[in-house]
Amino acid sequence: MSGATQDTAVRTSGFSRTLIYLVLLLFALFFLLPFFVMLVNSLKPLSEITGGNMMALPQHWTIEPWLSAWSTAQIGVEPTGLKPYFVNSIMMVVPAVAISTVFGALNGYVLTKWRFRGDSILFGLMLFSCFIPFQIVLIPMAMVLGKIGLAGSVQGLVLVHVVYGIGFTTLYYRNYYASFPTELVRAAMIDGAGFFRIFWRIMLPVSGPITVVSVIWQFTNIWNDFLFGASFGGQSQPMTVALNNLVQSSTGVKEYNVHFAGAILAAVPTLFVYIVAGRYFVRGLMAGSVKG
Amino acid sequence: MAFSTSGVDIRTRLQDLIPKLVLSPSIAAMMIFVYGFIVFTVYLSFTNSKMLPSYDLIGFENYAKLWALSAWWTAVSNLAIFASLYIVICTAIGLTLAILLDQKIRGEGVLRPIYLYPMALSFIVTGTAWKWFLDPGIGLENTMHLWGWQSFHFGWIKDRNMAIYTIVIAAVWQTSGFVMAMFLAGLRGIDNEILRAAQIDGASNWQLYRRIVIPMLRPAFMSAFVILSHLAVKSYDLVVALTGGGPGRATELPATFMYSYTFTRNSMGIGASSAVIMLMTIAAIMTPYLYAELKEKP
């Protein structure tokens, strides 16, 4: 019953159902194919790629390309593999996600339960800041990071991602907390509970679903960022920038199999997060938490 | 008596202050790093900055130069082609998949993540995969030849006139699953009673969707349009990874133009003015939407 009411009441005949499944499967193929090709070819020796068919399974399975991409491939001028850049990305993404999510939760709490004159204007400004093209801040950001000595450092990238991530996390938590009954908060206030006590005891325990959405959103965005990493990464480039350097390098033979292994390595963390928690993300999206 | 009231006063005043104190670091950061920086970049766009920022105002000269550059016109017309195709195709695929998935499909739980997973990937990864897939020498064309279809030809990525469409293909691949999720959410929110009533009145499936369901998805269309258009204007990484702006300058977009003029061609003033144009484009799309959104939920 509950399952049935979820879908539309439209009835379809046997023939059109076959057609529907066919279309859906064709699209599934379209979405899977590029990744399948990358995966298959990352497990082949180079000779099988340049001389063979990209759709074919490897004749000689090898994990050599993966080892090379991870620890010995030439990135820029150093034959370090992607490992140090992977570490950079982790060091960047963990604090940036944590800090921006904490601020987002507190901001959302203030903007819905402790409203004051002019708060919607502030929220409007924050909302707009989510959508600015980052080109508009690149030049001054480069100057400021240089001035405060954070240019080319992981800390600098953390700062950048926190600053431009707070808008989105605030948006998520604000929309979520808006539907939480304000009477409960007011009752707690009358009982003498303070700002942080209410947050800790009443708001946080119900914040699970939106925290999942906020963390996944921030994690994928920051991990996948290229523009800031390329502009301000310097000696601490994140994974995406290193991958691009690996793939675009113009010296020597193009080791496609190594490129693919590297590309998958760069995709593993976000794919992992998505597979483990993606269901909750979609559910959160569907609950209307993303209106922007 | 007097004691306790003043005590309460201080307490409530403190309680009033805490929320604002908690909010203030974010507001300060936003005012400096977003709006302050915007003002600064706008200012730079009116100066004769070259490799380093300069503070000598020269009026609208950079804007005049910018619009006289053929490279900028290429970037802008590429964006027009890319954005319109990207938005239309993503919306069409997203809506189609959502409607089809909504027909009590067996295996929806398997299909949905397959459609959605590309959005978890970085554009650099997407670009790497498609660059190779579309390469005539080793990719799809070669495969078709090996499978015996000798006349098959697909060399868009090497073709000045067609390369921009390969960016569209890869970008559509990346985002249409996300659009599908938005439409699916909208579809699941429609009350079935309305549809049943229309069916009793003799409406066909086609009429049902055209007259009732699709009009009711208006909010989802709006969200999809806003998200896709802002992604299109910001597109940078995909071009870098897929074509590097080439062949020649055939796939430059405003975002890549801004970067190269500012940081590698030592024309910071022109780079800043191109960034201002990009911001104005986004603002023109976003402001009415945000205004409506805020008015609706005060």
Contact B23 A49 (CB under 8 A): no
Q: Considering only CB atoms, which chain A residues are within 8 Å of B188?
A: 6-7, 286
Task: Count the alpha carbons within 13 Å of B10 in the hemisphere toward its beta carbon.
Answer: 5
ipTM, interface predicted TM-score of the complex = 0.86
Contact B124, A226 (CB under 8 A): yes
Query: Is the model's pLDDT at A292 over the cut of 70?
Result: no
Across the interface, whether the CB atoms of B120 and A244 are under 8 A apart is answered no
**Eight-state DSSP code of residue A254:** -
Query: Which residue has better confidence, A9 or B75?
Result: B75
What's the gap in Å between the CA of B161 and the closest CA on chain A? Answer: 23
Query: What would the mean pLDDT of A273-291 be, rounded to a whole number?
Result: 68
List the Cα angle A216/B166/B147 in 5-degree steps.
Answer: 105
Domain boundaries, chain A: 83-238+265-289
User: A149 pLDDT exceeds 50?
Assistant: yes
pLDDT in tens, B10-43: 667 777 788 899 999 999 999 999 999 999 999 9
> Rounded distance, CA B1 to CA B266, Å?
71
CATH superfamily placement of domain A83-238+265-289: MetI-like (1.10.3720.10)
What is the mean pLDDT of the segment spanning B115-140? Answer: 88
Using CA atoms, how far apart are residues A100 and A170, in angstroms rounded to an integer?
9
Q: What is residue A286's predicted lDDT score, i.e. its pLDDT?
A: 63
User: What is the model's pLDDT at position A95?
Assistant: 97
User: Is the separation of the CB atoms in A291 and B190 below 8 Å?
Assistant: no
Identity of the residue in A123, A227, A270 whose CB atom sits nearest the CB atom of B120: A270
Question: What is the predicted pLDDT for the residue at B10?
Answer: 66
Q: Per-residue pLDDT for B3 more than 60? A: no
Residue A51 confidence class, pLDDT cut points 50, 70, 90? confident
Summarize the confidence of residues A144-151 as an average pLDDT. 91
Q: What are the pLDDT digits (tens) for B174-185?
A: 999 989 988 988
Dig out the tokens for A124 from the structure: 């409007």
Is there a contact between A100 and A162 (Cβ–Cβ < 8 Å)? yes
Is the model more confident about A258 or about A78? Answer: A258
**A31 → closest Cβ in B132, B177, B208:** B177
**Closest Cα to residue B105, out of A199, A121, A17, A208?**
A17
Residue A9: per-residue pLDDT = 57
Instruction: Say what the pLDDT of residue B276 is.
Output: 96
Report pLDDT for A291.
41
Give pLDDT, residue A10.
64
Sign (positive/negative) of CA torsion B182, B187, B188, B190? Answer: positive
Sign of the Cα pseudo-torsion (A73, A74, A79, A81, in order): negative
Strand partners, A78: A75
**A152-190 pLDDT tens trace:** 899 999 999 999 999 989 988 998 898 888 888 889 988
Q: Which CATH number fits domain B64-296: 3.30.450.20, 3.40.630.10, 1.10.3720.10, 3.20.20.70?
A: 1.10.3720.10
Query: Nearest 5°: phi and psi at B47?
Result: -115, 170
Strand partners, B57: B47
b vs e for B66-83, b when ≥16 Cβ sit within 10 Å of the residue's Cβ?
Answer: beeeeebebbbebbeebb
DSSP assignment of A91-106 equals: HHHHHHHHHHHHHHHH
Q: What is the mean pLDDT of chain B?
A: 87
CB neighbourhood size of A91 (10 A): 16
Tell if the CB–CB gap between A133 and B255 is shorter than 8 Å: yes
- Which runs of consecutive H residues, i.e. helices, occur in B59-162? 61-68, 70-101, 108-116, 123-133, 140-146
Q: Where are the domains of chain B?
A: 64-296
Q: What is the pLDDT of residue A64?
A: 87
| Cis, peptide link before residue B247, omega less than 30° from 0 | yes
CB contact under 8 A, B23 and A273: no
pTM: 0.88
B132: how many CB neighbours lie within 10 A of its CB? 26
pLDDT, tens digit, for every residue of B200-212?
888 788 888 888 8
What one-character-per-residue DSSP string does B217-277 give? THHHHHHHHHHHHHHHHH--HHHHHHTTT-STTTT--HHHHHHIIIIISS-HHHHHHHHHH
